[in-house]
A and B are shown apart, each in its own frame.
Chain A
């Protein structure tokens, strides 16, 4: 220790704050700035979508967009080519998106839920340690692979079995894309539901088993009903990701905007149209290009709403049993 002996000055604070220097302030600035990037990105998304969307709605009335039932986003090559009128009614795209997402959820919900129930309630640690990562792998496979597989294997299979059975099934049937997408979101549903099922307190299971219910009865009548809100949340999240999925539908769904609910027909989706509109013609002011941004904004708003609701439900559910 120091050998200093100096006068003790009354009133001087020995622990006075020393200037922390520029360094600390700079570090904090960087940290805060980086956290704000998340906000910036959101703002950036909204901005980049909104400006173009507003310009789009200057050309196409918003009501025509939201409630029009005819989608044909074509503007002619030049004035002297007589093109189609260029209709921007998003309803067929929305129904198409919903149809495919619905099919996907029809696949993913039973598969995902049943897997989750099995893994959470019945599987031994061995099965779990083996099946879980494999299921997760389904989510890790890029969607372009699903798209390829759907277009190359699933769609012809459905078409062939359809024609064998005497049905006329389009090769871009909503069904093919929906199945591939359904499989892709299975792990999303199963891992979220697994979480949810695990957070149902053991005391409820004990109560049911103590009454002489079998394990399956307990799961069906007590655990699952108790987990319903959480499961609903996870299904919403999965739906949102199905709605936003792009590559599968680009590769396996159609481009034609049919307003139909028949899963054997070709429909197109919001994401397919965005890709088609923007990978073809790239002028930056025609209604055609701008409509892609309007669709993007629509997609963003819908998925955002679904996510916010879903996260609320899931968090609320988890708090309930904490």
Chain B
């Protein structure tokens, strides 16, 4: 049952999309083409961060609420519940491809080569003292404090805030990945999951990690200006700024298109968007927009989204997702 609000003068006729800043360039590109190639108006897209987007998305059904939210991390059960409590039962999940998370700095500076463990040690709030089971507040101020081979530079990493999907993925994949290289911590996982999680995923707050807002563009600009700083953001942004920035090698692998697509690069995550099924058929053009997205012209190996830095899924995965989209099969967790 759809209870469309009649507060505004007329029903909205353009699709409204909110959500992740990482997906923003992809969805705007699709939207723009969609607006040009069809008679539907160009969807209006606001970059609010994955978390903010889901909050808006899950606020309710009706034209004052967005139809689609972009996400750079998969929706969590708690969010699904939140949606459900506001009457949004049917959500269609669309996975659109992959994005690597890169640690980049200005080309003015030297290329960094790190392991996931280095990354975790550099950015975790608490780190092991050396004795198993003991931790101390992160003492490392210079990269070279961690390992002498690393540059003797102040640790300064500009990264996304916790509301961002990039941050969630970064904590989950990179941080946790580096963390569990310590055996005793790995064992902690099974014994005390909560402690494990908070040890591995908590990022230091003493200034070495600078939360730089949802706007990855800003981070890029800041890196260009301060050569010693590193930034954490999606591969697509690195791709767009390859003239100014370089991505650090993680575990010896460079963050490049092929390496990420093949899974060699260790820090990559899936990108999604979520559609409010109740709005399909009410707000014109949603189905057509989905079709435009789930199309090899867009997300395919040579699709125009790859120009924007999207790393495509394999052909089978694509056709599976495309089928979900065509059927508008709701998400079930």
CA distance A199 to B73 in the complex (A): 65
A171 near B201 with CB under 8 A, answer no
Q: Besides the contacts A84-B205, A283-B55, what 9 more A-B pairs have beta carbons closer than 8 Å? A: A77-B76, A81-B162, A84-B202, A255-B210, A255-B218, A256-B211, A280-B214, A281-B49, A283-B52
Closest to B175 in A: A82
B 43-61 to A, binary, CB cutoff 8 A, 1 in contact else 0: 0000011111001100100
Binary flags per residue of A69-88, CB closer than 8 Å to B gives 1, else 0: 01010111111111111010
Is A82's CB under 8 angstroms from B201's CB? yes
Q: Give the most central of B201, B211, B212: most A CB within 10 Å.
A: B211
Measured in the bound complex, the distance between the Cα atoms of B190 and A18 in whole Å is 93
Contact of A281 among B48, B165, B168 (CB under 8 A): B48
B225 contact set on A, CB distance < 8 A: 155-156, 159, 170-172
Contacts of B212 in A (CB 8 A): 255-256
What is the CB-to-nearest-CB distance from B232 to chain A, in angstroms, rounded to a whole number? 14
State whether A82 touches B52 (Cβ < 8 A).
Answer: no
Q: Which A residues from 126 to 165 make CB contacts under 8 A with B?
A: 151, 155-156, 159
Tell me the bound Cα distance from A178 to B81 in angstroms. 47
Contact present for A78 and B79 (CB under 8 Å): yes
Which residues of B are found within 8 Å of A307, using beta-carbon distances?
none
B128 interfacial contact with A, CB 8 Å: no
The CA-CA distance from A288 to B73 in the complex, in Å, is 21
Verify if A258 is at the interface (C-beta below 8 Å from B).
yes
Are the C-beta atoms of A80 and B49 separated by less than 8 Å?
no
Residues of A within 8 A of B298 (CB): none
Residues of A within 8 A of B211 (CB): 72, 74, 84, 255-256
**Cα-based distance from A79 to B194 in the complex (angstroms):** 12
Check A280 against B48 for contact (C-beta < 8 Å): yes
Chain A residue contacts of B49, Cβ below 8 A: 280-281
What chain B residues lie within 8 Å of A77 (beta carbons)?
Answer: 50-51, 73, 76, 162-165, 167-168
Residues on the B chain within 8 Å of A74, using CB: 161-163, 211
- Asked whether, in the complex, the Cβ of B162 is within 8 Å of the Cβ of A283, the reply is no
Bound Cα distance from A199 to B31, whole angstroms: 60
The yes or no answer to B226 lying at the interface (CB within 8 A) is yes
Q: Which of A72, A151, A288 has a CB less than 8 Å from the CB of B221?
A: A151
11 contacting pairs across A/B (C-beta < 8 A): A72-B211, A76-B51, A77-B162, A80-B76, A83-B161, A87-B205, A151-B221, A255-B218, A279-B48, A280-B49, A283-B59
- What residues of chain A lie closer than 8 Å to B218, measured between beta carbons? 255
With contact pairs A82-B198, A281-B49, A283-B55 given, residues A258 and B207 touching in the complex (Cβ less than 8 Å)? yes
CB neighbours (8 Å) of B163 from chain A are 74-77, 280-281, 288
Interfacial chain B residues near A82, Cβ < 8 Å:
171, 197-198, 201-202
Size category of the A interface is 20 to 34
Cα distance, A75 to B171, chains bound together (Å): 15
| Contact across chains for B51 and A281 when beta carbons are under 8 A apart | yes
Q: How far is the CB of B239 from chain A (nearest CB, A)?
A: 22
Q: Name the residue among B50, B59, B225 with the largest chain A CB count within 10 angstroms.
A: B225
In the docked arrangement, what's the CA distance between A82 and B210, Å? 16
Q: Nearest B residue to A80 by beta-carbon distance?
A: B76
Task: Say whether A81 contacts B55, CB under 8 Å.
Answer: no
Question: Binary interface profile of A, 107-133, with partner B (CB < 8 Å = 1, else 0)?
Answer: 000000000000000000000000000
A276 within 8 A of B: yes
Q: Does A282 contact B (CB under 8 A)?
A: yes
- List A contacts of B56 (CB < 8 A): 282-283
Which residues of chain A have C-beta atoms less than 8 A from B51's C-beta? Answer: 76-78, 281
Are B78 and A79 in touch, CB under 8 angstroms? yes
- Complex Cα spacing A83 to B171, Å: 9
B222 within 8 A of A: yes
What B residues does A75 contact at CB under 8 A?
Answer: 162-163
What's the least CB distance linking B25 to chain A, in Å?
A: 17
Residues of chain B with a CB closer than 8 A to A276's CB: 213
Q: Please, what's the 1-or-0 string for B121-157, where 1 marks a CB less than 8 Å from any CB in chain A?
A: 0000000000000000000000000000000000000
Assess A78 versus B197: contact at CB under 8 Å? Given A172-B222, A280-B49, A283-B52. Answer: no
Task: Kindly state the separation between the CA atoms of A151 and B218 in the bound complex, as whole angstroms.
Answer: 11
Complex contacts, A78 vs chain B, CB 8 Å: 51, 76, 78-79
Closest chain-B Cβ to A174's Cβ sits at a distance in Å of 14
Assembled-state Cα–Cα distance A155/B224 (Å): 12
- Contact at A282–B48, with CB atoms within 8 Å? yes
Closest chain B CB from A228 CB (angstroms):
41
B229 to chain A, nearest CB (A): 9
Residues of A within 8 A of B168 (CB): 77, 81
Q: Is the CB of B52 within 8 A of A282?
A: yes
Taking CB atoms, residues of chain B closer than 8 Å to A254 are 222
**What are the 4 A-B residue pairs with the smallest beta carbon separation, nearest first?**
A171-B225, A281-B52, A83-B162, A283-B55
